[in-house]
Amino acid sequence: QYIFEQENVTDTIVVFGSARVPSPEKIAEGRSGGELGRYYQDARDLGFRLARWSEEVAVPRGRRFLVCTGGGPGIMEAANRGAHEAGGPTIGLNINIPAEQVPNPYISREFSFDFQYFFMRKYWFLYHARVLIVFPGGFGTMDELFETLTLQQTRNIARRIPVILFGRKFWERVIDLPYLVESGMIAAEDLKLMVSVDSVAEALDVILPILSSQIE
C-alpha cells in the first residue's frame, strides 16, 4: 500500500488470463500456440492501446490508469508487454507457486510485487480496479473471475467493477451462463455483471467509455 500511495496509484485496469498461452517467440522456438494462441497478441495489443490512451488522454486530465496483471508469463506477460511498449508503467502482482509463475520482464521495477497468499493478492487486484478483463485461462483465472463476480453479486464490494470476458467462443463453451439462469443457480440480472467481447476493437468500445466517464 505504501508504494501505491507513494507513486499515486489509484486506478488500475486488471487483466487476468492463462500463464500457458505462449508468446510469438516461444512459438518460433517450436512450442505450439494451439487454438488459443492468438490471445497473446490480443492481450498485448489491448495492453498497448489502454496504456497509450491513459498516457495521452487520462494523464493530462489528472488521472492515470495502469495495466495490472498477475505478473507471470502468457496472457499476463502479454498485457504487461503491451503497456510497457506504449511507454506506460505497468503492475505485476506475482504469487509464489511451484510452477509457471515467474515475474515477466515487462513489469515496471517499482511495481513488481511478490505475494505468499492468494487472498492478499486478490485484495490488491480489486482495490484499485476500474475494469477487469478476463482472457481464457484455467483454474487460477476461473478462481479470480468467480470471486470477483460473487463479491459483486452479493454486494460485498462497495463499487461496481465491470467484467469483460475476452474470447466469446471460449467463454460460451466453458461457462453455460444461460443454463445457470435456466436452472435457477443465478438470476437473469446476474448476467449484467459481465459482457463478452471477441476482439481488441470490441473490447475498447466497451472499456474506454467506462474509463472516460471517470475522468469527466
Divide the 216 residues of the chain into consecutive groups of 10 and give the mean pLDDT of each group. Answer: 76 95 84 83 98 96 95 95 96 77 86 82 90 96 95 90 96 96 96 96 98 89
Mention every residue, 6+ apart, whose C-beta is less than 8 A from residue 190.
Answer: 149, 153, 181
Mention every residue, 6+ apart, whose C-beta is less than 8 A from residue 116.
Answer: 95, 96
Which has the closest alpha carbon to 64: 77, 52, 49?
Answer: 52
| DSSP 8-state class, residue 106 | T
Residue 190, burial from CB neighbour count under 10 angstroms (0-12, 13-18, 19+): middle
Residue 25 has a pLDDT of 85
Residue 30 has a pLDDT of 73
Q: Can you give the pTM of this predicted structure? A: 0.92
3-state secondary structure of 90: strand
